[in-house]
Amino acid sequence: MKNLLVAIDRRQDAEQLMTQAIKIAKLTDAKIWIMHVTEADPDDFLAREAGPQYVYEKRAKERKNASLEIQKWVEEVKEKYSIDIEGLVINGEVTKSIKNIVDERNIDLVVAGHKKKSLLYGLFTANKKKDLIDDLKVPLLAIPLV
């Protein structure tokens, strides 16, 4: 195993996911990719006249905060565990983004959270997206979130 993808939705869930990914990375000498998917680029929304300026500013701020959070995780893991790790903040649709990163980065295992009625739970159970697991063509480690 060379590459692990950790799909993070919320900071409070990230710790549980990262704990498992770090254990696996230490055992297999794998690289960890932390990924957070944000809403599509605000420029796209403005071009389509989807909302006023405050919508653009809110989404831009959320993206900036997500980038800072991911970078903080990367630095903490590098310093504490000496594990090869990189962070990704991607704009767009979650399932498509996960599949793209799996293909682009040769991901061997996806680590994601599972909680009833959560975003990631919906990804794997919603009718339109239930085939994601099959489409990934790599194992998915679903971590129960408490």
- Residue 50 belongs to domain with CATH number: 3.40.50.620
Percentage with pLDDT > 90 across the chain: 42
Taking only the tens place, the pLDDT of each residue in 88-135 is: 999 888 888 899 999 999 999 999 887 765 555 555 555 434 556 777
Between CA 7 and CA 33 the distance in angstroms is 9
Supply φ then ψ for residue 38, to 5 degrees.
Answer: -105, 170
102: containing domain: 3-144
pLDDT at 48: 53
Between CA 115 and CA 121 the distance in angstroms is 6
Cα dihedral across residues 13, 14, 15, 21: positive or negative: positive
What residue ranges in the chain does DSSP mark as E strands? Answer: 3-7, 31-38, 85-91, 109-114, 140-144
Domains: count for the chain: 1
Instruction: Report the pLDDT averaged over residues 59-64.
Output: 84
Percentage with pLDDT > 70 across the chain: 79
- Which of 14-18, 66-70, 102-106, 132-136 has the largest mean confidence? 102-106
